[in-house]
């Protein structure tokens, strides 16, 4: 019997709010609230990017007890909350008193940045005696995955993937393998990142963020000729993965099936930017599709990690063009225009698209870049895709792709 992994639940903490519904609404209406980043620490330069898709004061009391939450970093709180939302969405109850053969695979780009910064400042400003053990415990990149495991007594593999923008799909693929191989009955897989003012200021200093335009408007503009950087974002997304037959047996509703995934690396990419030459990744993606007998005509949508960066979006467009060639490219969603640059947003968008959610036009896009010739989805004639390709190209050279299919296709 061929075992496959299906997604049966989705939980999210995002700038749109808590849960799947607010995020789905945001994608449908193409609107989300951006928030000024706290610049009071003095880390920022003047007159640069000021806004980000921040979670704000999320009401998590339903998902995590305040007494427990206070011992956690923001990332851990969001991850635990999103995991419980995902389980609720999947109507899957795990006995917290029993050991559950559940894998937890999370990805993060920056880890617990705020906690790490706070602890380092204690050490550097006051000496090592001032270092808080509670902060240290939460400073490790795998703290959110560990807290999720503790919250639901998940005793399967516990893995944290750190591969920048490619991390969420690598995590999804890793978790799918745990389920398909039978090492776990199900998996909680996702992505969490917290945007601290320090991280925001560093991204800004690197020139990665979209600065305000002449009208004071800040926006990511994926694939647009005027794109000038990305919008920073934060949040957590967790999905429940189960083996398809087992999910059916318990009467679970599947949102999407994970058909396959793969990853690659472009050694020509600079350490902090995207490569100029798409050829390595074109070859890698083509080989991946061939290996899985995936015909390009099967794809009815591409969920792209394009975020408004000059080189990143160029690379994404050239890779898609290189693989599709003369064939017509299906509609391309660029959800990071809305959620900002954080892996959880992209993962949630991909699952929602596969589950049949409606998407509006790509915010910020107006002018086709003549070099790219790619216009992301404009909101007209949306047809829920039966099969979609998710693409994440990371700064530094890593890339990951996954193919999701609408359940029942």
Dist CA 50 CA 38 (whole Å):
8
Compute CA 293 distance to the chain's CA centroid, rounded to the nearest angstrom.
26
Q: Does the footprint of other proteins cover residue 196 (CB under 8 A)? A: no
Q: Does the footprint of other proteins cover residue 324 (CB under 8 A)? A: no
CB of 332 to other proteins, least distance (A): 24
36 φ, ψ to 5°?
-65, 140
Q: Does the footprint of other proteins cover residue 278 (CB under 8 A)? A: no
Which residue from 151, 169, 168 is spatially nearest to 79, judged by alpha carbons? 151
Q: Does the footprint of other proteins cover residue 143 (CB under 8 A)? A: yes
CB of 152 to other proteins, least distance (A): 8
CB of 233 to other proteins, least distance (A): 16
Q: Does the footprint of other proteins cover residue 318 (CB under 8 A)? A: no
Binding pattern to other proteins, positions 208-247, x when CB under 8 A?
----------------------------------------
Cβ 162 vs Cβ 191: under 8 Å:
no
Q: Which two tokens stand for residue 337?
A: 């225009």
Segment near other proteins (CB under 8 A); pick from 56-64, 147-155, 223-231, 244-252: 147-155
Dist CA 356 CA 360 (whole Å):
13
Decide whether 143 or 334 has the Cβ nearer to other proteins: 143
Task: Identify any residues that bridge with 233 across adjacent strands, giving them in sequence order.
Answer: 53
Cβ 72 vs Cβ 154: under 8 Å:
no
Cβ 18 vs Cβ 85: under 8 Å:
yes
Q: Does the footprint of other proteins cover residue 94 (CB under 8 A)? A: no
Q: Does the footprint of other proteins cover residue 129 (CB under 8 A)? A: yes
CB of 160 to other proteins, least distance (A): 5
Put residue 342 in one of left, alpha, beta given phi > 0 → left and psi -120 to 50 → alpha: beta
Dihedral sign, Cα of residue 362, residue 366, residue 371, residue 375: positive
Segment near other proteins (CB under 8 A); pick from 14-22, 104-112, 212-220, 235-243: 104-112
Dist CA 324 CA 301 (whole Å):
13
Q: Does the footprint of other proteins cover residue 140 (CB under 8 A)? A: yes
Q: Which of 127, 251, 370, 408 binds other proteins (CB under 8 A)?
A: 127
Dist CA 179 CA 44 (whole Å):
44
Distances in Å between the Cα of 110 and the Cα atoms of 11, 12, 135, 193, 200 are 21, 18, 16, 7, 11
Q: Does the footprint of other proteins cover residue 12 (CB under 8 A)? A: no
Dihedral sign, Cα of residue 302, residue 398, residue 230, residue 343: positive
Q: Which of 266, 316, 341, 369 binds other proteins (CB under 8 A)?
A: 266
Segment near other proteins (CB under 8 A); pick from 46-54, 107-115, 225-233, 235-243: 107-115
Q: Does the footprint of other proteins cover residue 95 (CB under 8 A)? A: no
Q: Does the footprint of other proteins cover residue 125 (CB under 8 A)? A: yes
Q: Does the footprint of other proteins cover residue 3 (CB under 8 A)? A: no
Q: Does the footprint of other proteins cover residue 198 (CB under 8 A)? A: yes
Q: Does the footprint of other proteins cover residue 182 (CB under 8 A)? A: no
Which residue from 307, 341, 305, 340 is spatially nearest to 320, judged by alpha carbons? 305
Cβ 268 vs Cβ 14: under 8 Å:
no
Q: Does the footprint of other proteins cover residue 170 (CB under 8 A)? A: yes
Q: Does the footprint of other proteins cover residue 68 (CB under 8 A)? A: no
Cβ 235 vs Cβ 13: under 8 Å:
yes
Decide whether 283 or 321 has the Cβ nearer to other proteins: 283
Q: Does the footprint of other proteins cover residue 139 (CB under 8 A)? A: yes
Buried residues in 309-337 as b, exposed as e (16+ CB within 10 A):
bbebbbbbbbbbbebbeeeebbbbbbbbb
CB of 31 to other proteins, least distance (A): 31
Q: Which two tokens stand for residue 136?
A: 């240290």
Q: Does the footprint of other proteins cover residue 123 (CB under 8 A)? A: yes
Distances in Å between the Cα of 396 and the Cα atoms of 102, 267, 280, 311, 318 are 32, 8, 13, 12, 17
Segment near other proteins (CB under 8 A); pick from 1-9, 152-160, 242-250, 360-368: 152-160
Cβ 53 vs Cβ 232: under 8 Å:
yes
- Number of shown-chain residues binding other proteins (CB under 8 A): 70
Q: Which of 177, 228, 339, 362 binds other proteins (CB under 8 A)?
A: 177
Q: Could you list the residues that contact other proteins (CB under 8 A)?
A: 43, 99, 104, 108-111, 116-117, 119-121, 123-125, 127-129, 131-133, 136-143, 145-147, 149-150, 152-164, 170, 174, 177, 183, 198, 202, 205-206, 262-267, 269, 271-272, 280, 283-284, 396-398
């Amino acid at each position: 019997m061929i075992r496959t992994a299906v997604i049966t639940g989705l939980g999210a903490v995002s700038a749109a709010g808590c849960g799947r519904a607010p995020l789905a609404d945001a994608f449908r209406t193409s609107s989300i609230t951006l928030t000024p980043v706290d610049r009071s620490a003095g880390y920022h330069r003047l007159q640069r990017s000021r806004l980000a898709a921040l979670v704000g004061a999320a009401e998590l009391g339903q998902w995590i007890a305040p007494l427990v939450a206070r011992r956690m970093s923001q990332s851990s709180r969001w991850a635990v909350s999103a995991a419980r939302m995902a389980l609720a969405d999947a109507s899957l109850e795990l006995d917290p008193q029993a050991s559950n053969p559940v894998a937890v695979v999370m990805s993060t780009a920056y880890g617990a940045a705020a906690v790490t910064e706070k602890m380092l400042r204690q050490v550097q400003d006051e000496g090592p005696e001032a270092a808080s053990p509670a902060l240290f415990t939460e400073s490790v990149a795998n703290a959110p995955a560990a807290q999720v495991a503790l919250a639901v007594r998940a005793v399967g593999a516990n893995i944290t993937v750190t591969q920048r923008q490619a991390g969420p799909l690598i995590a999804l693929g890793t978790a799918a393998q745990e389920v398909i191989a039978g090492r776990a009955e199900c998996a909680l897989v996702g992505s969490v990142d917290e945007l601290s003012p320090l991280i925001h200021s560093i991204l800004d200093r690197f020139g990665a963020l979209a600065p305000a335009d002449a009208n004071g408007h800040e926006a990511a503009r994926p694939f647009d000729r005027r794109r000038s950087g990305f919008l920073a974002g934060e949040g957590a997304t967790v999905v429940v993965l189960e083996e398809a037959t087992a999910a059916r047996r318990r009467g679970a509703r599947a949102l999407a099936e994970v058909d396959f995934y793969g990853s690659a690396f472009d050694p020509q990419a600079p350490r902090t930017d995207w490569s100029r030459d798409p050829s390595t990744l074109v070859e890698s993606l083509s080989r991946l599709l061939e290996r899985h007998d995936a015909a390009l005509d099967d794809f009815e949508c591409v969920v792209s990690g394009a975020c408004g960066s000059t080189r990143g979006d160029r690379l994404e467009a050239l890779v898609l063009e290189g693989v599709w060639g003369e064939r017509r490219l299906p509609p391309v969603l660029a959800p990071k225009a809305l959620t900002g640059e954080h892996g959880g947003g992209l993962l949630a968008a991909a699952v929602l698209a596969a589950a049949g959610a409606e998407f509006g036009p790509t915010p910020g896009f107006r002018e086709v870049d003549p070099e790219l010739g790619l216009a992301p989805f404009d909101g007209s004639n949306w047809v829920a895709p039966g099969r979609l390709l998710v693409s994440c190209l990371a700064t530094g050279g890593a890339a990951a792709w996954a193919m999701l299919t609408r359940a029942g296709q």
